[in-house]
């Protein structure tokens, strides 16, 4: 196996490598650059990965897709699409729920797939609503969620985001990535177009998720923390 200067490993094509002292064009991956013997190749991620299958995010929520793509950043080398797949609402621990959904989605997509499971956990309620926050939000709304803590002095909470990733290949192992953000539950403030954001105020900030700019939110949120771990994993050539 040759290892090129950008640390991309492959057994399917020949890579012009400094340590090999020779140069080749990377046809397998659509490369059009040529290295001089003994000199590093100029490898551009966008070119190197352009023939990879897109990663399918299982959601019908365009706002969620937009936020995730923005967190990945403009230099992220893979295309991310979304597909609204009707997945069962499993019960259990968040990691188990995400893993089960990802396995099912991978069977449907038959390619790289990313499934997200989000929890909002009130410490006074032992972690509830947890992974069932979507159901609670639909029934109670943001004001109702806040009122759930009326009888409790403890308003602390944490938002948790778990991403489950599968390459879609047979017998592939589902990888789990966990991100958290600590904060408090407050009366609803800010726009109401993104779930429970109006009632969650992260520690160290005077604004709720709904009130703060998307740039700030995308640097501190539970989703951002989890996506960064996904990004690091994929950039190691695990796609």
Which residues fall in the annotated binding site for ITP?
Answer: 59-64, 101, 194-197, 217, 222-223
Annotated binding site for Mg(2+): 89, 117
**Token digits of residue 185:** 């539950």
Q: Which residue has the tokens 């994929």?
A: 234
Task: For CA atoms 18, 24, 25, 27, give the dihedral sign.
Answer: negative
DSSP 3-50: E-TT--EESSS----GGGT-----TTTT----PPTTS-----HHHHTT
At 44, list the tokens: 């551009």
CA dihedral (68, 69, 73, 79) positive or negative: positive
Distance from C-alpha of 223 to C-alpha of 239, rounded to nearest angstrom: 20
Decide: 78 and 54 in contact? Cβ < 8 Å.
Answer: yes
Token pair, residue 194, equals: 């993104």
């Amino acid at each position: 196996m040759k290892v090129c200067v950008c640390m991309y490993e492959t057994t399917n094509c020949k890579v012009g490598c400094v340590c090999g002292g020779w140069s080749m064009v990377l046809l397998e991956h659509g490369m059009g650059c040529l290295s001089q013997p003994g000199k590093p190749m100029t490898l551009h991620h966008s070119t190197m990965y352009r023939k990879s299958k897109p990663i399918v995010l299982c959601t019908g929520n365009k706002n969620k897709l937009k936020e995730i793509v923005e967190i990945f950043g403009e230099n992220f080398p893979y295309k991310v699409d979304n597909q609204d797949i009707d997945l069962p609402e499993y019960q259990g621990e968040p990691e188990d729920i995400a893993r089960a959904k990802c396995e099912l989605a991978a069977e449907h997509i038959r390619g790289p797939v990313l499934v997200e499971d989000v929890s909002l956990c009130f410490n006074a309620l032992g972690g509830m609503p947890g992974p069932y926050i979507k159901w609670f939000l639909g029934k109670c709304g943001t004001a109702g969620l806040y009122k759930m803590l009326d009888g409790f002095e403890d308003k602390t909470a944490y938002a948790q985001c778990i991403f489950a990733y599968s390459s879609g290949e047979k017998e592939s192992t589902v990888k789990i990535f966990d991100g958290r953000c600590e904060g408090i539950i407050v009366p609803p403030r800010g726009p109401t177009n993104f779930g429970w954001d109006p009632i969650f105020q992260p520690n160290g900030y005077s604004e709720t998720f709904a009130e703060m700019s998307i740039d700030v939110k995308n640097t501190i949120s539970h989703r951002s923390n989890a996506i960064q771990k996904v990004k690091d994993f994929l950039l190691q050539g695990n796609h």
